[in-house]
Chains A and B, each alone.
Chain A
Amino acid sequence: MSVTPDGTSDLTRRTLLRRAAAAGLLATPAAGLLSACVGGGEDEPTDQAEGEKSATNPLGVDGKAPLEIYIFNGGLGTKYATDVHVPSYKKSFPEAEVKFNQAEEMATVLQPRFTSNEPPDMVNNAGSKLMDQGALVQAGQVQDLTELFDAPSLDIPGKTVKDTLVPGTIEQGSFNGKPYVLNYAFTVFGLWYSDKLFQTNGWAPPKTWSEFTALLDKAKAAGKTGYAYAGANAAYYQYLVILTTAAKIGGPDVLKNIDNLEDGAWTAEPVKQAAQMWGEIGAKYMNKAHLGLQHTEVQLQQNQDKVVFYPSGSWLENEQAKDTPAGFNYAVVPVPSATSSDKLPQTAIYAAAGEMYFVAAKGKNPRGGMEYLRHMLSKEGAKGFTQLTKVLTVVQGATEGLTISPGLTSSEAMLKAAGSDYFAYRWDTWYKKMDDECRAATNELMFNGGDANKFVTRMQKVADDVKKDPSIEKFKR
């Protein structure tokens, strides 16, 4: 209802402080940079808009309150928001003004607004400059989404929002058991190749490790690099594959132990074995020059048929749309089985809800923010998103009967074959430091003749360090 700002005197005090602190922009080299308002403004709650709850308005949105949203302008673009979700929200609340904003560096633009307690209502926290979501949650800046997930779905009758989602979605956005973040895009990971290349050479996608290496030998004989990833900035595509193999060998608990920072989680036998097997692939089939290349450069080489397999998530097809020659036909296979005694079947894959959207708890219209997410999670909203971005969403069955692109069809088939055998980990976003260390360790393993033992001990050490560091908040799943 009321969206009045704080009293005038208060405003001037805060503006003043903020101005003084804007000086922080020049602080000793970088640290104060985005500080905006350190020590200015207490954590006082602002007046938040609220309307009457009803069957069509289960979250009690104030239909007149303006809503401010921030969308990351990256691989997915922003068209899905401006053309699908915003109109959907406006249809339900014609009187509401929806302020749409986009940014490429979310932290640069938004961090100051959070520190000064004037955040936008809904934020798509993504990209390489995303804000530390854990830190935001820790600071009480993020709205608890329980109410949203318990609300009825917008256009799937008889179901709550929770029921319409792919299992695991809510857990993926939970921090210590509470749902704070909606991970909207559903991404499947595997080894990508050109179906055309396979057809012309009469190759079949490999299912076992021996089939995999046999195919890599053939690729080598044909003068191609059998397997590649970009060491300069995309080593995490590779450690994802290594850990996928580890999970296949030892079951998904291997990854759970890593997430929970259990003692010896990295030095466990399945992880070591996976590192061993991938290290051999690196030594035998990879091109050392790729260590110095960026992901787009290596992906381009794949489009030119110089590279056969490339590990990535299902955004790859959309990302490469401009460079992919006609008839290239992206296709994807699960990471091959490692041994005959694997705990998980060959079809098991790494799949996760990603692309974070959250509502600011201290914003002016958190109910509107949640309602916006409800519109995103409607069947129509999800379908529109997939059509515009070629990326699946966490809404089940939203794309039934749609044929959009070969890569999307292939990843949908892979997901269907996997059934309930999909898994994911969280440690890389929870503990950024471990992510950095693992990238370095992975490059060493794959390119610089590192061995499995060194890889696992290195990772175990950083995991132990993080565990002991009291300044880092720990998460469990």
Chain B
Amino acid sequence: MRHGRYPFIVGFLIAPVTIYVTFVIAPYIQAFYLALTNWRGVSANPKFIGLDNFERLLTDDTFWKAVRHHGVLLLVLPLVAIAIALVFAFLLNVGGGSKGGAMRGVWGSRFYRIVFFFPQVLAVVIIAVIFRRVYAPDETGLVNGLLGVVGIDPIPIMADKNIALFAIIAVLVWQAVGFYVVLFSAGMASVPKDIYEAAVLDGAGRSSMFFKVTLPLLWDTLQVAWVYLGIAAFDAFAIVNVLSIEQGGPDGATTVLGMEIYRNAFSYSQFGYASAMGVALFFLTITFAALTLRVSRRETIEL
């Protein structure tokens, strides 16, 4: 039977690999090449200029501003989103205590599960448009309307340099939580019941059950969530593009690399320079993913 094996495997792989190479690998290579040119997007033959674009990046204030914003996103987004998602998932699955030997969620957990997942169903742009109304700077906005009820003057949320970025992070968290609740729920479901039973018998309360049983057994899932959210923190383009004022404003206070790439490519026609930013972003993301996986490596608990 052996002789038929390779043609069999090759037959399966040829289509996906071709598609992957054509639509993923080749464009990456092309972007790397474009980053070394001064292509402006309209001529057929870009000029090769070596590493000039990368030299320019080093002194570009807006670029570094965007990188700093990714730093903030990277710190805040995964931490907040994972924390909230964990709490919710715990409440939905184990928070109701045990009954008849099985762990149960809090009352109405089936309903909450659906509600939490809602934002995930909406397209990102729709979310941004919705939040443009939520954050509207006068009393017609949801937030400012509520503030008005308690007698606080409207705050121009997206127009305030100190608030805008955090308002955007809040949207990203709101959108992400639902997915991670589901992810963690699945993780918790795979924890064998008898471990929980044993913990209950030993007199563990809800909090020690969470920190001493659930969390360690979820470690793999957490690690995955962290990498996903980290990569999401390097994106945020769609929300920033639609929600922020002046696309990344006010005054660059919410800009991200995706936004700057887009601006340089399509509004300044500096495709070469934009590609250089893209390459920088590529390496940032790869470095982050590799680092996270390495640093958070732990011995998996065999169940």
A404-433 toward B: CB 8 Å interface, digit per residue (1/0)? 000000000000000000000000000011
**Contact present for B40 and A443 (CB under 8 Å):** no
Chain B residue, CB-CB nearest to A288: B156
**Contact present for B41 and A288 (CB under 8 Å):** no
A177 to chain B, nearest CB (A): 21
Which residues in A have their C-beta under 8 angstroms from that of B97?
A: none
B53 to chain A, nearest CB (A): 9
Which residues in A have their C-beta under 8 angstroms from that of B235?
A: 29
> Which B residues between 243 and 300 are near A, CB-CB below 8 angstroms?
245-246, 249-252, 257-258, 261-263, 265-271, 273-275, 277-279, 281-282
**Contact present for B237 and A29 (CB under 8 Å):** yes
**Contact present for B275 and A27 (CB under 8 Å):** yes
Cα A139 to Cα B47 with chains together (Å)? 12
> Which A residues between 288 and 312 are near B, CB-CB below 8 angstroms?
288-293
Check: B166 CB closer than 8 A to any chain A CB.
no
**Contact present for A34 and B41 (CB under 8 Å):** yes
**Contact present for A291 and B43 (CB under 8 Å):** no
Cα A31 to Cα B245 with chains together (Å)? 22
Cα A386 to Cα B257 with chains together (Å)? 43
A133 to chain B, nearest CB (A): 10
Which residues in A have their C-beta under 8 angstroms from that of B251?
A: 440, 443-444
Chain B residue, CB-CB nearest to A440: B251
Chain A residue, CB-CB nearest to B259: A30
**Contact present for B136 and A235 (CB under 8 Å):** no
Q: Which of B21-29, B79-87, B115-123, B174-182 contacts A (4 or more CB under 8 A)?
A: B21-29
Of A21, A115, A131, A140, the contact of B30 (CB 8 Å cutoff) = A21
Which residues in A have their C-beta under 8 angstroms from that of B135?
A: 292
Of B28, B44, B245, B279, the contact of A231 (CB 8 Å cutoff) = B245
With A35-B30, A440-B246 already in contact, the answer to whether A288 and B42 are too (CB < 8 A) is: no
**Contact present for B250 and A289 (CB under 8 Å):** no
B266 to chain A, nearest CB (A): 6
Cα A224 to Cα B142 with chains together (Å)? 23
Check: A213 CB closer than 8 A to any chain B CB.
no
Check: A23 CB closer than 8 A to any chain B CB.
yes
Check: B188 CB closer than 8 A to any chain A CB.
no
Which residues in B have their C-beta under 8 angstroms from that of A32?
A: 27, 30-31, 34, 271, 275
Which residues in B have their C-beta under 8 angstroms from that of A141?
A: 42-43
Check: A345 CB closer than 8 A to any chain B CB.
no
Of A23, A29, A131, the contact of B23 (CB 8 Å cutoff) = A23
With A30-B258, A41-B44, A291-B137 already in contact, the answer to whether A443 and B24 are too (CB < 8 A) is: no
B32 to chain A, nearest CB (A): 8
Which residues in A have their C-beta under 8 angstroms from that of B154?
A: 289
Of A43, A132, A448, the contact of B45 (CB 8 Å cutoff) = A43
With A39-B44, A107-B266, A139-B42 already in contact, the answer to whether A28 and B31 are too (CB < 8 A) is: yes
Check: B209 CB closer than 8 A to any chain A CB.
no
| Interface residue total, chain B, C-beta cutoff 8 A | 58
Check: B39 CB closer than 8 A to any chain A CB.
yes
**Contact present for A289 and B137 (CB under 8 Å):** yes
Which residues in A have their C-beta under 8 angstroms from that of B274?
A: 30-31
Of A24, A139, A235, A447, the contact of B27 (CB 8 Å cutoff) = A24
Cα A235 to Cα B245 with chains together (Å)? 11
With A289-B156, A440-B251, A443-B250 already in contact, the answer to whether A28 and B41 are too (CB < 8 A) is: no
B34 to chain A, nearest CB (A): 6
Of B42, B237, B252, B261, the contact of A31 (CB 8 Å cutoff) = B261
A132 to chain B, nearest CB (A): 4
Cα A307 to Cα B136 with chains together (Å)? 18
**Contact present for A129 and B266 (CB under 8 Å):** yes
Of A38, A293, A447, the contact of B44 (CB 8 Å cutoff) = A38
With A28-B281, A35-B34, A231-B245 already in contact, the answer to whether A111 and B44 are too (CB < 8 A) is: no
**Contact present for A440 and B252 (CB under 8 Å):** yes
A33 to chain B, nearest CB (A): 7
**Contact present for B278 and A28 (CB under 8 Å):** yes
Which residues in B have their C-beta under 8 angstroms from that of A440?
A: 246, 249-252
Cα A80 to Cα B154 with chains together (Å)? 44
Chain B residue, CB-CB nearest to A447: B159
A292 to chain B, nearest CB (A): 3
Which residues in A have their C-beta under 8 angstroms from that of B156?
A: 288-289, 291-292
B37-67 toward A: CB 8 Å interface, digit per residue (1/0)? 0111111111000000000000000000000
**Contact present for B26 and A115 (CB under 8 Å):** no
Chain A residue, CB-CB nearest to B39: A38
With A38-B34, A292-B156 already in contact, the answer to whether A27 and B28 are too (CB < 8 A) is: yes
A375-404 toward B: CB 8 Å interface, digit per residue (1/0)? 000000000000000000000000000000
Closest 4 CB pairs of A and B: A292-B137, A132-B269, A28-B278, A27-B27
Known A115-B42, A131-B42; 15 more pairs at CB < 8 Å: A23-B27, A28-B281, A31-B275, A38-B39, A40-B44, A115-B43, A132-B41, A132-B267, A135-B269, A288-B159, A291-B245, A439-B249, A440-B251, A444-B250, A448-B250
